[in-house]
Amino acid sequence: MSEEKNTEELGEKIVRVLKTIYDPEIPVDIYELGLIYDVLVNEDDEVKILMTLTTPNCPVAETLPAEVEDKVKSLKDIKDAEVEITFDPPWSQDLMSEEAKLELGML
């Protein structure tokens, strides 16, 4: 049970870090924007993040995944982090949280 709790806590810490990273063109964090598709943590505390970008030729295609990796790796409980970019399914505004839509005046 403690192993499960630990993973859950780690997941929450990762989400908190992800919420500090913003898309430079939209004043909403990448988590609320729906750019994070999945966060996987294995038993060795290695993290794999499956994420997308708002468009394939997004200006931050090079820097945003590196920023996500670096910030997640900076958590003391994380041994390693890897970001995989996917465009399947492509990002759309439907993936945004209610909070993000409200922030952008879409509700």
Per CATH, the number for 2-95 is 3.30.300.130
Q: Which two tokens stand for residue 18?
A: 């992800």
Looking at the DSSP bridge assignments, the partners of residue 82 are: 48
Q: What is the mean pLDDT of residues 46-55?
A: 94
Q: Round to whole Å and give the CA distance between 89 and 77.
A: 30
pLDDT digits (tens, 9 = 90+) for 54-87: 888 888 888 999 999 999 999 998 999 999 999 9
Nearest by Cα to 101 from 17, 26, 50, 24:
26
Q: What are the residue ranges spanned by the domains of the chain?
A: 2-95
Q: Which two tokens stand for residue 88?
A: 């399947």
**Average pLDDT across the chain, whole number:** 91
The CA angle 15-80-9, to the nearest 5 degrees, is 35
Task: Give me the pLDDT at residue 26, please.
Answer: 84
Verdict on whether the full-model pTM lies above 0.85: yes
